[in-house]
A and B are shown apart, each in its own frame.
Chain A
């Protein structure tokens, strides 16, 4: 009794006993997503640091000069250290010069170009990342960013070259088409979840595949691609439908970045200030409670994925209308999955997502120069991303590496000290004595002093724990 009671006290959200395994899994999922949002920014920064260290080890391992110098490490240890340092400095400085500021560039325009490239790469990541983040905040794992981006790109691109309209109108219509395409794709998953309870993870993954093959099919159809060649490439988006350049020729930065800023503000307003956003967060926190409070849960569920899809679709549209201009089978690359990283890294907050999008965009932009100049494989960038996700998804790992205290350790510590206080206040050793025995016999293995442990079963705290377990 006492052991189980104390364990229950550790888990933040106690669950009623009658829940089905499925509901239990769902509960665990939403709890995990909620915890993600609460991860401290220290963990995020440290995750990036760990990723850079892991990346450094791999860069060294993959480098032939370093391998060579390692073979005579004991004859000349300094040679190894020098080469290693040199290689790392070159690789990471190239990453930085490719992503932020290139002090070796021939012209001033060229030296600031990397930062604008980072922004260009970040546009679809931010937009799709915001969509994923809304899902996370509402307790939904939307893996369908990829499909939603593809649908957005597919519709926006088609409207961009198939119609001929005046300048402003054309681009707006194409963007709207992109949003609609993504929203429909997200909406399918949303309605299925709301109506039938279908798991959104599975549905969105399947929709990703359908989207990929739909695009591949369309690119075989002459009415769709309108090129006259038999390569699976569409014709180019009309100039009237292209997002205008922000800095003129020589730079690729386009108005899509402004859209990303506006979308970030919009999502912030939606989540933090609007009734709808409150409903979203409520169903993310606790759907049961939300229903009791009179929120139409199915409707909100469907709307979350419609809006998430719309944002991802907008990302795809901006990608096609701003940088790519034409559709090919791989137009979305891995954007949809990188967007999940962005949302995780941004802790599902709009501003965080924006910054995370910039970071990942920077890694992408810098990776290009790093690869070309130092021969460091671009795969390192993928490893960096993967390690970041791993670390963010497992905050205890980061805390273990850096000996940090538990993130929600505060309540735990507070509870413990609170218990001690209540004990001290109660102060009766007679009531403590038998409990101590039960605790030790039930084998509750914990670092906590047995007195604190055992008192939790009978202390006033136990009233907050769920009864009957």
Chain B
């Protein structure tokens, strides 16, 4: 008993000392604030969906776009994380009350809230990430801009690479929840595998997603990594050796499972080589440049050039893309790399069209 008190005392003393040391810094000069960027009179605001800003996926990408705008354009900002669906409307409304010039909503679930706010507040601009607005027939708003991404195009390339690199002849994918912005990845991936089989007379099988039947493996949400690992294990047991999880934070659960099985991962949204701890097993990533589009929209707004014209990220405008192979640069045969380059060009030229009912149209 005495001993434990002693130890506790030591810990407390150490903590206190640490605190003391860390508190001995110099006070800053009153006016020493170096202006990071020229201040502009523009306020950009962001409302997340339930994922929150640290979801390593689209909320986070959007937030990074905002941060970049704060840094480089010097805009003012406000942000709101939603913790439940009932907060979307109030969060958007609060942003309008904060005199935001533009309000971004991340995710299709904010569509209704943003649309209603756009109707009621013609002075404020609104941008919706990952979905179009469901306007009534003939209705059109000058202040509502959708930012969508045809990720199927980039996932097509990823599917081709996966099929080419698979040693077992089985590749896999799974999603968080069955919604179009997730399944569009899986459709493109399925088509890419198919394309590889057609071009090379191959017989690579895809598990976890059936494009025809629109059914496959889903973990149930975008946060439960244990469940993500579970789904990954299931696909691994079907012999898959390259797996693409499309599940935000839940996808991180695939990391340890794939590492143990010496399989490879294809990450989505951001470059998984940098954004996850499993860079050494990330073959490549399907990039969705949400941050760029947020930044570009703010930039337009600062220059008074906001339009309601929808932004569709494609391979052509580099709104979507395939990340570098990083550690696998040497392992990917040059003919595969060449084929990818050729496919990219085909898609940009419109010779190859990724047909998906989930693609933004």
List residues of A whose CB falls within 8 A of some B CB: 68, 70-76, 79, 98, 105, 110, 117, 121, 213, 216, 220, 229-233, 252, 319, 323-324, 326, 328-331, 333-335, 364-365, 368-369, 371-373, 375, 377-379, 382
Q: Which residues of B contact A117 (CB under 8 A)?
A: 90
Contacting pair B81 A377 (CB below 8 A): yes
Contacting pair B84 A333 (CB below 8 A): yes
Contacting pair B85 A328 (CB below 8 A): yes
Contacting pair B79 A375 (CB below 8 A): yes
Q: Which residues of A contact B86 (CB under 8 A)?
A: 121, 319, 323-324, 333
Contacting pair B83 A333 (CB below 8 A): yes
Residue of B nearest to A326 (CB): B112
Q: Which residues of A contact B14 (CB under 8 A)?
A: none
Contacting pair B27 A76 (CB below 8 A): yes
Q: How far does the alpha carbon of A231 sit from the alpha carbon of B83 in the complex, in Å?
A: 20
Residue of B nearest to A102 (CB): B97
Contacting pair A382 B179 (CB below 8 A): no
One of B24, B81, B180 near A74 (C-beta < 8 A): B24
Contacting pair A231 B180 (CB below 8 A): yes
Q: A68-B28, A74-B24, A368-B87 are in contact. List 6 more A-B contacts (CB 8 A).
A: A230-B179, A330-B84, A333-B83, A335-B84, A368-B91, A372-B91
Q: How far does the alpha carbon of A330 sit from the alpha carbon of B95 in the complex, in Å?
A: 22
Q: How far does the alpha carbon of A72 sit from the alpha carbon of B21 in the complex, in Å?
A: 10
Contacting pair A230 B26 (CB below 8 A): no
Contacting pair B179 A232 (CB below 8 A): yes
Contacting pair A213 B90 (CB below 8 A): no
Q: How far does the alpha carbon of A220 sit from the alpha carbon of B216 in the complex, in Å?
A: 13
Q: How far does the alpha carbon of A96 sit from the alpha carbon of B186 in the complex, in Å?
A: 46
B198 at the interface (CB under 8 A from A): no
Minimum distance in angstroms from B221 CB to a CB of chain A: 9
Q: Which residues of A contact B79 (CB under 8 A)?
A: 371-372, 375
Minimum distance in angstroms from B71 CB to a CB of chain A: 15
Interface mask (B13-24 → A, CB under 8 Å = 1, otherwise 0): 000000010111
Contacting pair A230 B27 (CB below 8 A): no
B340 at the interface (CB under 8 A from A): no
Which residue of A72, A117, A323 has the most chain B CB atoms within 10 A of its CB atom? Answer: A72
One of B23, B87, B177 near A329 (C-beta < 8 A): B177
One of B85, B89, B108 near A330 (C-beta < 8 A): B85
One of A75, A121, A378 near B27 (C-beta < 8 A): A75
Q: How far does the alpha carbon of A121 sit from the alpha carbon of B86 in the complex, in Å?
A: 8
Question: CB within 8 Å of A: which of B17-59?
Answer: 20, 22-28, 45, 50
Q: How far does the alpha carbon of A375 sit from the alpha carbon of B220 in the complex, in Å?
A: 31
Minimum distance in angstroms from B209 CB to a CB of chain A: 15
Contacting pair B81 A371 (CB below 8 A): yes
B339 at the interface (CB under 8 A from A): no
Residue of A nearest to B108 (CB): A231
Contacting pair A74 B23 (CB below 8 A): yes
Q: Which residues of A contact B358 (CB under 8 A)?
A: 230
Q: How far does the alpha carbon of A65 sit from the alpha carbon of B24 in the complex, in Å?
A: 16
Q: How far does the alpha carbon of A73 sit from the alpha carbon of B19 in the complex, in Å?
A: 10
Q: Which residues of B contact A333 (CB under 8 A)?
A: 83-87
Q: Which residues of B contact A72 (CB under 8 A)?
A: 23-28
Contacting pair A368 B90 (CB below 8 A): yes
Q: How far does the alpha carbon of A76 sit from the alpha carbon of B27 in the complex, in Å?
A: 7
B78 at the interface (CB under 8 A from A): yes
Q: Which residues of A contact B82 (CB under 8 A)?
A: 378
Q: How far does the alpha carbon of A75 sit from the alpha carbon of B26 in the complex, in Å?
A: 6
Q: Which residues of A contact B284 (CB under 8 A)?
A: none
Which residue of B22, B131, B179 has the most chain A CB atoms within 10 A of its CB atom? Answer: B179
Minimum distance in angstroms from B54 CB to a CB of chain A: 11
Minimum distance in angstroms from B37 CB to a CB of chain A: 18
Minimum distance in angstroms from B247 CB to a CB of chain A: 14
Q: Which residues of A contact B45 (CB under 8 A)?
A: 372
Q: How far does the alpha carbon of A261 sit from the alpha carbon of B83 in the complex, in Å?
A: 27
Which residue of A74, A213, A229, A368 has the most chain B CB atoms within 10 A of its CB atom? Answer: A368
Which residue of B25, B83, B357 has the most chain A CB atoms within 10 A of its CB atom? Answer: B83
B178 at the interface (CB under 8 A from A): yes
Minimum distance in angstroms from B223 CB to a CB of chain A: 12
Contacting pair B94 A372 (CB below 8 A): yes
Q: Report the 9 A-B pairs with minimum CB-CB distance, sorted nearest first.
A: A333-B84, A73-B23, A76-B27, A71-B25, A72-B27, A72-B25, A75-B27, A372-B94, A330-B85
Contacting pair A71 B22 (CB below 8 A): yes
Interface mask (B154-193 → A, CB under 8 Å = 1, otherwise 0): 0000000000000000000000011110000000000000
One of B20, B84, B95, B178 near A334 (C-beta < 8 A): B84
Which residue of B50, B85, B131 has the most chain A CB atoms within 10 A of its CB atom? Answer: B85
Q: How far does the alpha carbon of A30 sit from the alpha carbon of B22 in the complex, in Å?
A: 50
Q: Which residues of B contact A232 (CB under 8 A)?
A: 177-179
Q: How far does the alpha carbon of A335 sit from the alpha carbon of B87 in the complex, in Å?
A: 12
One of A70, A252, A378, A382 near B23 (C-beta < 8 A): A70
Q: How far does the alpha carbon of A172 sit from the alpha carbon of B79 in the complex, in Å?
A: 39
One of A231, A324, A379 near B85 (C-beta < 8 A): A324
B80 at the interface (CB under 8 A from A): yes
Q: How far does the alpha carbon of A98 sit from the alpha carbon of B87 in the complex, in Å?
A: 13
* 8 pairs of residues in contact across A and B, judged by CB atoms under 8 Å: A70-B23, A71-B22, A72-B26, A213-B220, A231-B131, A319-B86, A368-B80, A372-B98
Contacts A72-B27, A117-B90, A371-B81 given; indicate if A231 touches B179 (C-beta within 8 A): yes
Q: How far does the alpha carbon of A329 sit from the alpha carbon of B222 in the complex, in Å?
A: 12
Contacting pair A369 B94 (CB below 8 A): yes
Q: Which residues of A contact B25 (CB under 8 A)?
A: 71-72, 75
Q: Which residues of A contact B357 (CB under 8 A)?
A: 230
Contacting pair B94 A368 (CB below 8 A): yes
Minimum distance in angstroms from B12 CB to a CB of chain A: 17
Which residue of A73, A121, A372 has the most chain B CB atoms within 10 A of its CB atom? Answer: A372
Which residue of B23, B78, B177, B357 has the most chain A CB atoms within 10 A of its CB atom? Answer: B23
B109 at the interface (CB under 8 A from A): yes
Q: How far does the alpha carbon of A213 sit from the alpha carbon of B81 in the complex, in Å?
A: 25
Contacting pair A220 B178 (CB below 8 A): yes
Q: Which residues of A contact B91 (CB under 8 A)?
A: 368, 371-372
Contacting pair A372 B95 (CB below 8 A): yes
Residue of A nearest to B90 (CB): A368
